[in-house]
């Protein structure tokens, strides 16, 4: 045990050491060849710091340790865990971050107590508290803890208003922007918060018959949906068991004093053994084209030969000319890939994606723009820019009002899904729809929510049975189409190599559903701009005109009482 006079000095040394190591990993990108030894060193430094303050808590309090200082350490640990989740997609790191943040909130480390009142006039401390709420909000959103999100949002709003009153000489505009972004984010899917998860869930997505074969914190609503769509939902029994244990261990201690009883190894064994690992990912918000290509090159460089890279791009197809009104399409870019260096289970298999004929003209009509400004140049991404990445196994999803320009590029065979150029809607303006995110991405991640949006339906708890029966119709159809895809002899090799991966197979099935529903939707103008495309072509047995596909759409339309919105007699 350290001497009383040495304890505060040793504590400050540990804090400074941990902060130096933290600064080295805080801004490391979540892609490329990052030295693996960085993160273990930072975790080790904070573990040592945390253990020291636990063992010497009374002496540290006597020497002037404030509650907010413990909160700041715990917040750093939570931030580290979330960073690790973004790098690895391992759910245990996300849960660990949530537990730390929740304990900080429950113990009120940033509020109350004489020490806090003495320094409440310190704007720096107030900014620490605001950052804590913003980070906890992001973790709670990704983990789908919507009740906690509501609590945090109310507290965050109150804190911003209080800050403006107490610090009139400081600007809190950026924090009001964060608050407004979160409010808009919540409104988009608020009605569907109690429906099935976006993540792959065995309860809804497993088909036994075929088994043998908006922006918040630089996270747009489209990226959020796609990110969750490419992760596994923990199984029910495992998930509930871990939550109960976490709650009992994380919040049962006395919160009235300066407590440091947060177990840093609380969910060290939080991995659900019944599931494969989540695919690795990198998320970019409004990057320049050169930045995106650099990231793709780094990922390709370390991609094992038996893995596939999924490239999802949601961006406007505007030419970048000032005279063109800005589209309300998300400007997010996401790449995802699964490595086999640690986990050997459920690998993506190598694959290629086909394409059409013709070359790139680099005209204004043949690109999407990615960056925050519409100045062209490095903000424009042309189809030909992606050709080098078709040399490795790749799966492209292009969600843009100019997506069809990407079908005319040469390269190695690759899987390609292209969004419609225009959204389909009934009874509301297209502006209302695009404010809620891309319709195509919604189809690929939550197809029934997309149906509710198209038909202008409202969802409430009283209509839970309607949604449940609709889920049954769609799930039964997907199971049947899945068997057809896995047994057909006319399936292109590109798709055959992808189908073994459940997460990608589910996206393909949802594309088939989307394409069929939008094909038969009754509209006055030509269908071409309103229907998505895939390259290479999927088999005729799952085409929009196939009886097994058309029948499923008809059943769903009848169930929702929207048959009048379709034209099934045009085949």
Cα–Cα distance measured from residue 255 to residue 133, given in angstroms and rounded to the nearest whole number: 19
3-state secondary structure of 541: helix
Which is more confident, 189 or 45?
Answer: 45
Arithmetic mean of pLDDT, 554-558? 92
The pLDDT value given to residue 343? 21
Would you place residue 231 in the very low, low, confident or very high pLDDT band (cuts 50, 70, 90)? confident
Confidence check: pLDDT of 324 > 60: no
Residue 119 Cα distances to 112, 165, 256, angstroms = 11, 16, 19
Helix H, strand E, coil C: the string for 462-527 is HHHHHHHHHHHHHHHHHHHHHHHHHHCCCCCHHHHHHCCCHHHHHHHHHHHHHHHHHHHECCCCCC
Most confident of 242-256, 271-285, 454-468, 524-538: 524-538
Confidence check: pLDDT of 262 > 60: no
Distance between terminal CA atoms of the chain? 83
The closest alpha carbon to 471, from 196, 191, 188, belongs to: 196
The CB density around residue 366, as the number of other CB atoms within 10 Å, is 22
Would you place residue 435 in the very low, low, confident or very high pLDDT band (cuts 50, 70, 90)? low
Q: Look at 242-246, 336-340, 464-468, 472-476 and tell me which has the smallest mean pLDDT.
A: 336-340
Query: Which ranges constitute the DSSP H helices of 267-420?
Result: 289-302
Q: Look at 46-60, 307-321, 407-421 and tell me which has the smallest mean pLDDT.
A: 307-321
The pLDDT value given to residue 376? 59
Confidence check: pLDDT of 272 > 70: no
Average model confidence (pLDDT) for the chain?
A: 74
Contact 171, 145 (CB under 8 A): no
The pLDDT value given to residue 267? 46
The pLDDT value given to residue 119? 44
Task: Give 388: exposed, middle or buried? Use CB within 10 Å, 0-12, 13-18, 19+.
Answer: middle
The pLDDT value given to residue 303? 79
* 414 beta partners: 353
Would you place residue 30 in the very low, low, confident or very high pLDDT band (cuts 50, 70, 90)? low
3-state secondary structure of 261: coil
Cα–Cα distance measured from residue 160 to residue 305, given in angstroms and rounded to the nearest whole number: 50
The β-bridge relationship of strands 368-369 and 380-381 is antiparallel
Q: What pTM, to 2 d.p., does this model score?
A: 0.72
Confidence check: pLDDT of 352 > 60: no
Arithmetic mean of pLDDT, 544-558? 92
Q: What is the pLDDT of residues 63-110, one digit of tens each?
A: 888 888 888 888 998 988 888 888 877 888 888 889 889 989 988 888
3-state secondary structure of 8: helix
The β-bridge relationship of strands 309-314 and 394-399 is parallel
Would you place residue 419 in the very low, low, confident or very high pLDDT band (cuts 50, 70, 90)? very high
What is the percent of the chain with per-residue pLDDT over 70, rounded to a whole number? Answer: 70
- DSSP-derived secondary structure for 175-197: HHHHHHHHHHHHHHHGGGTTS--
């Amino acid at each position: 045990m350290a001497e009383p006079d040495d304890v505060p000095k040793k504590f400050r040394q540990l804090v400074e050491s941990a902060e130096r190591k933290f600064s080295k990993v805080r801004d490391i990108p979540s892609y490329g060849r990052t030295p693996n030894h960085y993160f273990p060193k930072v975790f080790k430094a904070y573990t040592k710091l945390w253990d020291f303050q636990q063992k010497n808590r009374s002496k540290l309090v006597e020497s002037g340790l404030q509650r907010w200082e413990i909160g700041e350490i715990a917040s750093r640990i939570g931030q580290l865990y979330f960073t690790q989740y973004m790098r690895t997609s391992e759910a245990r790191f996300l849960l660990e971050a949530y537990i730390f943040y929740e304990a900080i909130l429950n113990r009120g480390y940033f509020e109350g107590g004489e020490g806090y009142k003495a320094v409440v006039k310190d704007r720096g401390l107030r900014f620490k508290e605001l950052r804590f709420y913003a980070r906890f909000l992001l973790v709670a959103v990704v983990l789908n803890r919507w009740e906690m999100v509501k609590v945090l949002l109310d507290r965050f709003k109150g804190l911003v208003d209080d800050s403006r009153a107490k610090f009139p000489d400081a600007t809190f505009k950026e924090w009001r922007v964060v608050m407004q972004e979160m409010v808009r984010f919540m409104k988009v899917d608020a009605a569907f918060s109690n429906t099935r998860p976006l993540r792959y869930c065995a309860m809804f997505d497993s088909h036994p018959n075929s088994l043998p074969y908006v922006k918040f914190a630089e996270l747009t609503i489209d990226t959020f949906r796609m990110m969750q769509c490419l992760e596994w939902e923990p199984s029910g029994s495992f998930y509930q068991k871990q939550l109960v244990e976490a709650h009992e261990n994380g919040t049962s201690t006395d919160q009235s004093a300066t407590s440091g009883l947060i177990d840093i190894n609380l969910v060290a064994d939080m991995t659900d053994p019944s599931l494969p690992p989540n695919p690795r990912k990198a998320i970019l918000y409004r990057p320049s084209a050169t930045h995106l290509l650099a990231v793709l090159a780094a990922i390709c460089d370390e991609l094992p030969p038996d893995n596939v890279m999924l490239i999802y791009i949601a961006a406007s197809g505007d030419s970048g000319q000032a005279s063109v009104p800005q589209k309300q399409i998300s400007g997010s870019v996401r790449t995802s890939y699964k490595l086999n260096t640690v986990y050997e289970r459920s690998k993506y298999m190598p694959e290629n994606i086909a394409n059409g004929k013709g070359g790139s003209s680099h005209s204004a009509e043949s690109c999407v723009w990615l960056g925050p400004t519409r100045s062209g140049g490095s903000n424009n991404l042309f189809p030909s820019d992606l050709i080098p990445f078709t040399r490795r196994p790749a799966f492209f999803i292009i969600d843009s009002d100019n997506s069809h320009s990407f079908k005319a590029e040469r390269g190695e065979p690759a899987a390609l899904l292209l969004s419609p150029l225009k959204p389909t809607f009934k009874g509301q303006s297209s502006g209302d729809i695009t404010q809620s995110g891309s319709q195509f991405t919604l189809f690929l991640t939550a197809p029934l929510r997309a149906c509710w949006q198209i038909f202008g339906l409202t969802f409430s708890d009283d209509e839970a049975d309607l949604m449940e029966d609709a889920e049954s119709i769609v799930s039964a159809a997907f199971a049947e189409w899945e068997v057809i895809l896995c047994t057909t002899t006319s399936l292109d090799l590109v798709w055959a190599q992808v189908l073994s991966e459940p997460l990608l197979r589910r996206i393909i099935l949802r594309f088939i559903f989307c394409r069929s529903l939008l094909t038969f939707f009754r509209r006055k103008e030509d269908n071409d701009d309103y229907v998505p495309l895939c390259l290479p072509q999927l088999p005729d047995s799952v085409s929009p005109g196939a009886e097994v596909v058309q029948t499923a759409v008809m059943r769903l339309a009848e169930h929702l009482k929207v048959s009048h919105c379709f034209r099934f007699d045009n085949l």
